Structures are given as C-alpha cells and as structure tokens.
Amino acid sequence: ATAAPLSRPIVVVNEITLRDLAGIPVGRLRGVGDKKRAALETLGIEHVLDLLTTYPRRWVDRTNEARIADLVAGEQALVLAAVRSVRKRPTRNRRTIVNVNVGDGTGRLDVVFFNQPWRERQLHEGLQIALFGKVDTYRNGLQMTNPIVDLIGDRTGKIVPIYPQSEKAQVSTWELATWVEEALRRTEPRGVADPVPAATVERLGLIGRGAALHAIHAPDTIRAKNAARRRLAFDELLRVQLVLVLRKRAIEREQRGIEHETGGDLRRRFGNALSYELTGAQSRVIEEISADLRAPHPMHRLLQGDVGSGKTVVAVATMLTAVDGGFQAALMAPTEVLAEQHAAGIRALVEGVSVPAADNLFGDRPLRIELLTNRVTGSERKDIMAGLADGGVDIVIGTHALIQDAVDFASLGVVVVDEQHRFGVEQRAALRDKAPDGRTPDMLVMTATPIPRTAAMTVYGDLDVSVLDEMPPGRTPVVTHWANGPLMESGVWVDVREQVAAGRQAYVVCPLIEESEKLEVASAEETHDRLVADELAGLRVGLLHGRMISAEKEAVMDRFRSGSIDVLVATTVIEVGVDVPNATVMVILDADRFGIAQLHPLRGRVGRGEHRSTCWLVTQLLETNNARVDALVDSTDGFELAEVDLELRGEGTLMSSAQKGRSDLKLASLRRDRELVALARDAAFEIVDHDPGLAHHRGLLDELDLLFSDRDEEFLTRG
Ligand code: ADP
Ligand code: MG
C-alpha cells in the first residue's frame, strides 16, 4: 500500500498499549496479595487488561440520592445508608423473609426481602449500601420491599461504579474499584495509546481511549460515562469488523474465481418460461448476484428471504448461469427430505427448458438435473457420479453426500447452500474445494431465518448480503390467533375439524422440551394418542418425530403430502422447508415455550397454497400477556419479528453460536448499538481498503493479534 491517509502520525511518546496492560499481572497492584490474586483469577482477571475491561455493570448516581427523612411513600428512590441490623425468619409456607434495618443519619428505614435468604449472608451490620426501589407504607412506617441493592463500601464520588460481584470470589465491588483506580493512575504518566485513526475518532465524535477508560470506571457525570461507553463499544465492534473485513478481502485477493457470462440463452429461456413475473426484490437480487458472477473473484453471498419469498427462482437463475457457460452447479440442502423437495420443485420449474447446444444436430439438449443423497445407491448412484465427473450432469441437488471425497466434478461453477445455519464453515469450504482447476466456484448461501441487518453484519460479516424483502403477489397472509387456556383450545380443534371436512389438512406441533428429546418424543406420542382418542377422533392422524428413522419419517411425509393423512402431529422436525400447499392450519401447543425464531418458520409451513390459512398459538392459561405470542399475532413480517426477537432475547444466543472464539463484546450490544455496528463496519472497510495488511495501522493489528484466537486471525498472516 502507498501512503495511508488515515494512519496516525508516528507516536513518539511510548504510550501504554493493550498488550502492555496484558503483560502486567494484577499482583503488581498495591493491595492485591496472594489471596486476592487467587480470588481475581477465579473471576478470570489475571492481568491489568482484564481488570480494566471488567466494566461496571451499573453506576449509582449519587446526585439523585434521597435522605431517608425525605422519602415519600409511593415513589421510587435511591437511598445510601448503613446496615443497622439483619434478621432472617421463615414464613409459614417454608419461604424466608430477611428484614434489614438501615440508617443514614436522617432516619431509619425497614427493608424486606422475600425469598432471598442469601441476603442474610450478604448484608451485615456497618455495611454501606445503595438501595433502589419503591417506598411503601407499612404499619405507620416506611418500607422498601425487594429493592435493588448495591454494595458501595467506602466509595465516595458522585457516581459510584458497581462491578459484577461474585460472593464466592470474595472480591467486593469497592475493592475492584480501588484497584482499577490505581491501575488507571499508573497509566497516567505515559498515557493510553489510541490506535484508532484520529480522523475516524474525530469524524464520529468519539472521545479518546484513555479518557474513555477513565470515564467508564470513574465518571464525573452520567453523560461522561455514556460517552466513554460509546467509545469503548465502538472499539470492540471495530475490532470484530476489522477481522471480518480483512478475511473478506483476503479471500477475494487469494481466490481465483470464474468470470461467468450472465447474458446466456439458457437463462433467458428460463426467464421466458416462468409462469409469473419476478418480484422487484427477486429482480434486484438476481442482478446483485449476476454482478458477482461476472466478477473475477468468487462470490460469497448470503441470501436472506422469509419463507415463501421466492428464493428458489433466484437459486435456479444463479445455477443456470453456470450451465450457460458450460459449468456445473450444485445445491446442498441440510436434510434428505429438503433435498428431494428441492429436486422436485426445481425440475418442475425448468420443465421444458433445454440447453442450447451448437454441437448437437438438433441445436438443443435437455438439461440434466440429478438428486444425490445417501438414499441414492447402486447403479443409479454410479451413473450420477460418472455424470458429475464427466460433466454430463448440469445441476446436482443433494445433502452433505455431495461433499464426500468420492464425488468429483468436471467443472463446478456455482454452489448454492440452503439453510446455512445447519452447515459449518468447513462444510461450505469442502464443497468449494471441489473445483478442479484451482478456480473457486461462486457460492450463494440461502437462509429463511431473517437476521436483523446489523446482526448479519457481524455474524456473517465476511459475506455480502442480499435480501428478498418482498413477497410474491396474490397470497393471503396467515391469520394468527392466540388460544389461551382450555376453553379457547377447544375452539381450535373445531377449526381443525372444519378445515379437514373442507378437504384441507393440518399440522399440530407438540410442546418443545429442549432439555430432552426423549421427553419430547414421549409428549408427542401422548398428544397424538389423546387427539386420536378424543378431540380429533375419526380423523386420519399421523405422527412424526425426531427419533424415527428417516425411512419412517419419509413414509409419513409422503402420506401427508398425498393427502392420506389429515392431521400431522409432529415435533419441530417439520420446522424447515416442508411444503404441503393443502395444509391450511398450524396448531402450536405450548407456544410460549418456543422462541420467535422457531415460531415464525413453523407458521410458514401453512399459507403456501391458494387457500386461506390459520395459525393457532395455544398456551395453558397464561395470566399475563406474552410478548412473543403477541408479536406473532401482530406481524407476519420475518424481519420485523427478528428485530422484536433480538429486542426480547438480547443478542446472547446469536453471538454465542456464531461468534465462538472471537473476542467478546463486553460493552457493545448488537441490539442497542445498531448504529455503532454500521459505523464500525464502514470504518473497517475504509481502513482495510487503504491499508490491506494494516502495515500503517500497527497498533490495530497488534490488538487483533492480542485479542483474537489463531483461527480468527489466520488470514492476518496470509494477508
Ligand atoms: P422460499 O424458498 O423463499 O420459501 P419458494 O421459492 O419456495 O420460496 O417460493 C414460494 C412460492 O412462491 C412457490 O410456490 C413459487 O412458485 C412462488 N413464487 C416465487 N416467485 C414468485 C413470483 N415472482 N410470483 C408469483 N409466485 C412466485
Ligand atoms: Mg425454499
């Protein structure tokens, strides 16, 4: 790279870097003896960097503090006081009550904790605590019930940081605060290095990193704390984005792709033969993909589209582009059922479309599409394998059987992977490596699990993303109802019977028991037997669950598909992809046990045909509203629901599954910090595109090296 306009001037002062901080054991701090060092170690705090990135989980703003004498019944208040007495006693129904009396020099206050027996051990006479809660009157006096309690110890200051505490570790929040303070004081003579380009910091209005570290731990005002949080969260997100963007660019640089022709005859014939107009979103996405296909570097694109948004046509257009240029295409699905369904659907879609072939007497030859799963055996399998190896097969659709060593392709040009969350990165790579001449096939990954944009940027940050955000016309959205309690549930079975009488079919999804598949199967069997004996007596009811062997499952699915079963009672095995247009009722039992991310695709199993469909979310009589059930009743838009889901759940699950091994986000939240994620991603592109090897951003490079595992940053050394 040439001059990098974004890089900082060479630093003369030897400022302290994160690596320096990671090299100082906490035992070097005053007050941290052997015992405390061991205690800190159990909290995962070994060196000063660990300590300084152990951020407060809360900040008590003493400027809002109330004196006990001024408390008003019925209002929320923050009180700082000393513990005067603690008493624990059992109640009649074997619960415990802990009564605590506190005082602050202006008066005394009674505090009551129900069902928190450990408060007796936590709170002892003389301890300084902050209490936050609603003040009530009780027997002529004032009282707080189950308030939030923070131990603040001897901390003064207007804003007191409260650190995560663990009773076992024997480290108090004020001890942590004291050590953090000392560590920060020791950084002062040299100052804290700030490796983020000054221009970026300035443009985004961020405060300096040293100032941020101070202000997150010992802020003067809540505003200062917020500014500090924003800066440090940005740094976390920037590092993640740098890793992703570096990887993306490294792959683009290193892998030689195929420059496909996208204006071929076959694709045009396919377009002309379609019985409907493409939606605007489909046309746009096909164009995005075509641009990738033409480019010299291989495509790595994620296609997100809700159930029913029409991903198949996009996949077929992509694959036919490869065939147009004399290449082969493969589509990989996560299960045999799905592979078979795809094969049937795609064959129907390209029915009658033939391949222009100049060397053929008749000018055309039929398109050859094959299905390859572990169920295809014997001479048929041999024949397909031979066709893949000599180029006779144009498109192959299959399961992971496709990536076995024995499968050779003559000229694999495009790979489509459906339902990406079931495949690992390694499996994708294995299929890509099937390209014979060192050229990497273009890859399209399809998922029906909508992921909010900013989350996608992080979880799939090394892929480009296309979104099908428009449904094909002429479909009636599924109407969703909440059936709360047995009375309403009986109405559900009436609806099922009516629909079956009208020639339609129904699914009944059994309660999810995440802890045990065995219990789940047992409960499905029970539900099945109960319905057969009672609510659905006389109907043809089938059972499908995860412990059946695949031949059994397939037999049941075939009978449901052909209409010889009216109602299919199933566990969540039907979650993905099963397509029976005649099914118009979806009943989900104990719906409150499922997450939005499960409920939405389940509901997507109906509403696939011309008939009006209904989804019933059945719960045992719930006393309060259920936010997830409400969201499903209110919306059928997968992306909207994904946002709600992220809101309700937090990003924990999302990150833990997809981000394993990457440096944690300690402050940043994909939910709260959407704007920062986007800014960090832009900044990462700007930095990497000016300085692909980070040669002029040594400080950043060093931080990635320090904070990310080898696997995460393997490309750093390659770049
Ligand atoms: P997905 O795989 O995204 O769930 P599919 O590709 O299976 O969706 O398409 C769902 C249904 O919509 C199919 O029956 C398909 O024929 C139909 N379809 C797809 N695109 C269009 C369109 N542009 N206009 C009308 N119907 C469409
Ligand atoms: Mg599909």
Tell me the per-residue pLDDT of 579-608, one tens digit each, with 9 for 90 and over: 788 999 999 999 988 888 788 888 988 988
Residue whose token pair is 């802020």: 219
Among 542, 632, 637, smallest CA distance to 592 is for 632
Tokens of 104: 């602050």
- At residue 81, does pLDDT exceed 60? yes
- At residue 252, does pLDDT exceed 60? yes
| Exposed/middle/buried for residue 234 (C-beta within 10 Å: 0-12, 13-18, 19+) | buried
User: With bands split at pLDDT 50, 70 and 90, how would you rate the model's confidence at 420?
Assistant: low
Q: What is the pLDDT of residue 656?
A: 37
Q: Which span out of 63-67, 262-266, 317-321 was modeled with the highest average pLDDT?
A: 317-321
- At residue 446, does pLDDT exceed 60? yes
The span from the CA of 626 to the CA of 631, in Å, is: 9
Query: Which residue, by CA, sits nearest to atom 9 of ligand 1?
Result: 310
Whether the CB-CB separation of 585 and 622 falls below 8 Å is answered with no
Residue 191's CB is within 10 A of a number of other CB atoms, namely 15
- Is residue 571 within 6 Å of ligand 1 at its C-beta? no
How far does the centroid of ligand 2 lie from the alpha carbon of residue 19, in Å? 48
Backbone angles phi, psi at 399, to 5 degrees: -100, -160
Query: Which residue, by CA, sits nearest to atom 21 of ligand 1?
Result: 472
State whether residue 586 is helix, strand or coil.
strand
The DSSP symbol for 527 reads H
- Is residue 511 within 6 Å of ligand 1 at its C-beta? no
How far does the centroid of ligand 2 lie from the alpha carbon of residue 618, in Å? 27
Among all bound ligands, the one having the nearest atom to the CA of 307 is 1
pLDDT tens, position by position, 156-174? 778 889 888 766 668 888 8
List of E strands, 8-123: 58-61, 65-66, 76-90, 96-103, 108-114
User: With bands split at pLDDT 50, 70 and 90, how would you rate the model's confidence at 375?
Assistant: confident
- Is residue 527 within 6 Å of ligand 1 at its C-beta? no
How far does the centroid of ligand 2 lie from the alpha carbon of residue 98, in Å? 57
The span from the CA of 542 to the CA of 506, in Å, is: 11
List CB contacts of 433: < 8 A, sequence separation 6 or more.
none
Q: What is the pLDDT of residue 361?
A: 67
CB-based burial, 650-687: b 16+ in 10 Å, e otherwise? ebeebbeeebeebbebebbbbbebbebbebbbebbebb
- Is residue 219 within 6 Å of ligand 1 at its C-beta? no
- At residue 69, does pLDDT exceed 60? yes
Which of 312, 349, 470, 475 most suits a substitution to test ligand 1, by most atoms within 8 Å of the C-beta? 312
User: With bands split at pLDDT 50, 70 and 90, how would you rate the model's confidence at 192?
Assistant: very high
What are the C-alpha distances in Å from 704 to residues 47, 193, 207, 244? 18, 15, 21, 11
How far does the centroid of ligand 1 lie from the alpha carbon of residue 311, in Å? 7
**More reliable by pLDDT, 697 or 455:** 697
Q: What is the pLDDT of residue 578?
A: 67
Query: Which residue, by CA, sits nearest to atom 15 of ligand 1?
Result: 310
What's the start-to-end Cα distance of the chain, in Å? 12
Q: Which atom of ligand 1 is nearest to the CA of 349?
A: 16
CA torsion 189-194-199-203 (nearest 10°) is -100
The span from the CA of 400 to the CA of 378, in Å, is: 18
Q: What is the pLDDT of residue 247?
A: 83
What percentage of the chain carries pLDDT values higher than 70? 88
State whether residue 615 is helix, strand or coil.
strand
Which of 309, 397, 469, 600 most suits a substitution to test ligand 1, by most atoms within 8 Å of the C-beta? 309
- Is residue 271 within 6 Å of ligand 1 at its C-beta? no
Q: Which atom of ligand 1 is nearest to the CA of 474?
A: 25
What are the C-alpha distances in Å from 618 to residues 481, 491, 493, 511, 512? 8, 11, 11, 10, 13
Reported as type and span, the H/E element at residue 553 is: helix 550-561
The span from the CA of 212 to the CA of 76, in Å, is: 31
- Is residue 310 within 6 Å of ligand 1 at its C-beta? yes
Instruction: Look over the chain and give the mean of its residue pLDDT values, rounded to a whole number.
Output: 86
C-alpha torsion sign, points 542, 545, 548, 549: positive
How far does the centroid of ligand 1 lie from the alpha carbon of residue 278, in Å? 9
Query: Which residue, by CA, sits nearest to atom 23 of ligand 1?
Result: 278
- Is residue 342 within 6 Å of ligand 1 at its C-beta? no
Among all bound ligands, the one having the nearest atom to the CA of 313 is 1
Q: What is the pLDDT of residue 435?
A: 63
List CB contacts of 337: < 8 A, sequence separation 6 or more.
550, 553, 554, 557, 577, 578
- Is residue 638 within 6 Å of ligand 1 at its C-beta? no
- Is residue 107 within 6 Å of ligand 1 at its C-beta? no
The span from the CA of 437 to the CA of 211, in Å, is: 54
State whether residue 177 is helix, strand or coil.
helix
Q: What is the pLDDT of residue 211?
A: 96
- Is residue 307 within 6 Å of ligand 1 at its C-beta? yes
List CB contacts of 656: < 8 A, sequence separation 6 or more.
none
Query: Which residue, by CA, sits nearest to atom 17 of ligand 1?
Result: 310
Query: Which residue, by CA, sits nearest to atom 25 of ligand 1?
Result: 472
Whether the CB-CB separation of 614 and 643 falls below 8 Å is answered with no
Mean pLDDT, rounded, for 407-418:
91
Q: What is the pLDDT of residue 483?
A: 94
Q: What is the pLDDT of residue 338?
A: 81
Which of 79-93, 329-343, 356-370 is predicted with the least confidence, judged by mean pLDDT?
356-370
Residue whose token pair is 């490294």: 250
User: With bands split at pLDDT 50, 70 and 90, how would you rate the model's confidence at 289?
Assistant: very high
- Is residue 304 within 6 Å of ligand 1 at its C-beta? no
- At residue 660, does pLDDT exceed 80? no
How far does the centroid of ligand 1 lie from the alpha carbon of residue 580, in Å? 13
pLDDT tens, position by position, 4-36? 555 555 555 689 999 999 999 999 999 899 999
- Is residue 669 within 6 Å of ligand 1 at its C-beta? no
CB-based burial, 284-320: b 16+ in 10 Å, e otherwise? bbbebbbebbbeebbbbbbbbbbbbbbbbbbbbbbbb
Backbone angles phi, psi at 61, to 5 degrees: -90, 100
Whether the CB-CB separation of 622 and 482 falls below 8 Å is answered with no
- Is residue 605 within 6 Å of ligand 1 at its C-beta? no
List CB contacts of 538: < 8 A, sequence separation 6 or more.
none
**More reliable by pLDDT, 423 or 244:** 244
Among 29, 46, 57, smallest CA distance to 166 is for 57
User: Would you say how long the chain is, in residues?
Assistant: 719
The span from the CA of 4 to the CA of 198, in Å, is: 12
pLDDT tens, position by position, 213-228? 999 999 999 999 999 9
The span from the CA of 286 to the CA of 278, in Å, is: 10
List CB contacts of 468: < 8 A, sequence separation 6 or more.
279, 281, 282, 285, 303, 304, 305, 306, 309, 310, 311, 314
Q: Which atom of ligand 1 is nearest to the CA of 277?
A: 23
Tokens of 632: 């499903």
| Exposed/middle/buried for residue 582 (C-beta within 10 Å: 0-12, 13-18, 19+) | middle
Q: Which atom of ligand 1 is nearest to the CA of 278?
A: 23
Q: What is the pLDDT of residue 716?
A: 45
- Is residue 604 within 6 Å of ligand 1 at its C-beta? no
Query: Which residue, by CA, sits nearest to atom 2 of ligand 1?
Result: 311
Q: Which atom of ligand 1 is nearest to the CA of 468?
A: 3
Q: Which atom of ligand 1 is nearest to the CA of 279?
A: 23
- Across the chain, which distance is largest between two alpha carbons, in Å? 103
